[in-house]
Structure 1
Amino acid sequence: MAKRGGQDIVRPRHPDAPLRTAFNGTPAYEPHPRWVVTGRYTAFDQPRPTTVGAAVEGLEHVYDAPGRVEFELAGQPLALTAFPGHGPGGLLVLFTDATSGVTTYAANRALALDAPAADGTVVLDFNRATNLPCAYTDLATCPLPPAENRLPVPVEAGERIPRERGGS
């Protein structure tokens, strides 16, 4: 059971579901050091309620964004709004980029970040960018990235379009 848009939802899972039994892994880009960058986390004065869409039409998610991460990629200064992550001080960024819908899942990818250092530095390892459940099934209620997290550069790192969605 989960809460989405202020409502309770139930997620039945069947052990013999074809999506589960036929699953044979998710293709990913070959890891490369160029996709590991150091950024600077800046906390907002107060967490900012940030409304984002969802993979299911008509549903919205609201997260309290604690800050943003600024970094450089492909010679271009960029920034991502961060949401609370897993673990103490951890962050999560949802993003799309110029590969979205081409070689990576169109709606979103996620990148978990360790807690920033005392000076605000944080490492973004895009080799670890992952798909959310909506990349595999139309029944998932995944959040979409906020508009400012649509990167104009290709991030050819991390997980690609799942084979179940036509990826190779």
Structure 2
Amino acid sequence: MTDDFARDWQAWHDRREAALAEPHGWLSLTAFHWLDAEPAALDGLPGRWSSDGTAVTVTAAAADRLVADGAPIDGTAVLPTPVGPAWIDYGGKRLELAPRGGRHAVRVRDPLAPTRTGFTGVPAYDPDPAWSVPARFAAAPERLDVGSVRPGVDQSLGTLGTVRFDLAGEAQELVAADAGDGRLWLLFRDPTNGAETASFRQLTTAAPGPDGTVELDFNRALNMPCAFTDFGTCPLPPGPNRLTVAVTAGERKPVQ
């Protein structure tokens, strides 16, 4: 292993751990509440909450300290989520209004969550250049239903095609989802899952070259958010995305 390779990987790993430890990042999740059409109270939160599938309605008093878009909620507020989550501040907490499959959930993000305050880093295999392997991408866009780690949450992936490569002399193939800007997002399983690593991991690549070539650096395989919290809704890997070779590279199972 070259010194430059090890230094680059360590800098990347340090940035990854710092992002996880942000005050309202994935380690701060403490609750997940489904909303129904009828207004209802939520455990540990003030006000009454409901959703029609396109927007969240919250009724609260100013004394409840719920703040949306910088203004206290005093009465009834309707908060649409056209392209992603909306947010409400509640003291030091942030409440994520998360659209999921035609419904809404409220996820509580608390900087004082034990998963965050007790965080000591993400275990990882030692970096090894041998786990950076060439692959070839073949475009075949489609949309795949994949489900999720959370019952009742359906997920689908906009896939771009497949990548083919060899590991330890064995041919492998993964369906690649769209990571934006032409980059590929790979959700995969391998024989290390369960014992050494989480139930599946993710890898993002650069955009493939004009001839379809792309590098897969498994040293940068990451745990999904659901490896750190019970309140994730991570999509599952597409059915074919199961490698036959144990990938002893990248992040290992988090310490619980």
Instruction: Mark yes or no: TM-score above 0.5.
Output: yes
Runs of 4+, deviation exceeding 6 Å: none
Corresponding residue to 1:99 among 188, 192, 215: 192
Deviation at 1:92, TM superposition (A): 0.3
1:117 aligned partner: 209
2:142 aligned partner: 48
Corresponding residue to 2:151 among 47, 57, 81: 57
* Alpha-carbon distance between aligned partners in 1 of 2:164 and 2:149, rounded to the nearest angstrom: 26
2:126 aligned partner: 30
Q: Structure 2 counterpart of 1:16, which letter?
A: L
1:152 aligned partner: 244
1:163 aligned partner: 255
* Alpha-carbon distance between aligned partners in 1 of 2:254 and 2:193, rounded to the nearest angstrom: 12
* Alpha-carbon distance between aligned partners in 2 of 1:109 and 1:99, rounded to the nearest angstrom: 10
2:101 aligned partner: 5
Question: Does the aligned pair in 1 maintain the 2:156–2:235 contact within 8 Å?
Answer: no
Deviation at 1:151, TM superposition (A): 1.0
Q: How many pairs align? A: 160
Question: What runs of 5+ residues in structure 2 fail to find an aligned partner?
Answer: 1-84, 86-97
Query: Cα RMSD over matched residues?
Result: 1.1
Corresponding residue to 1:73 among 167, 171, 186: 167
Give the SS at the match of 1:34.
helix
Deviation at 1:57, TM superposition (A): 1.9
- If asked which structure has higher relative contact order (CA below 8 Å, sep 6+), I would say 1
Identity %: 49
CA offsets, 1:89-142, max 9 Å, x none? Answer: 011000010001110001x20000100000000000000000011001111001
1:21 aligned partner: 117
CA offsets, 1:6-38, max 9 Å, x none? Answer: 323332201111111111101000011111000
Larger radius of gyration: 2
Corresponding residue to 1:138 among 230, 243, 248: 230
* TM-score, normalised by the number of residues in structure 1: 0.91
Q: Structure 1 counterpart of 2:218, which letter?
A: F
Deviation at 1:4, TM superposition (A): 2.1
Give the SS at the match of 2:130.
helix
Question: What runs of 5+ residues in structure 1 fail to find an aligned partner?
Answer: none
Q: Structure 1 counterpart of 2:151, which letter?
A: E
* Alpha-carbon distance between aligned partners in 1 of 2:99 and 2:136, rounded to the nearest angstrom: 32
* Alpha-carbon distance between aligned partners in 1 of 2:242 and 2:101, rounded to the nearest angstrom: 23
Deviation at 1:152, TM superposition (A): 1.7
Give the SS at the match of 1:97.
coil
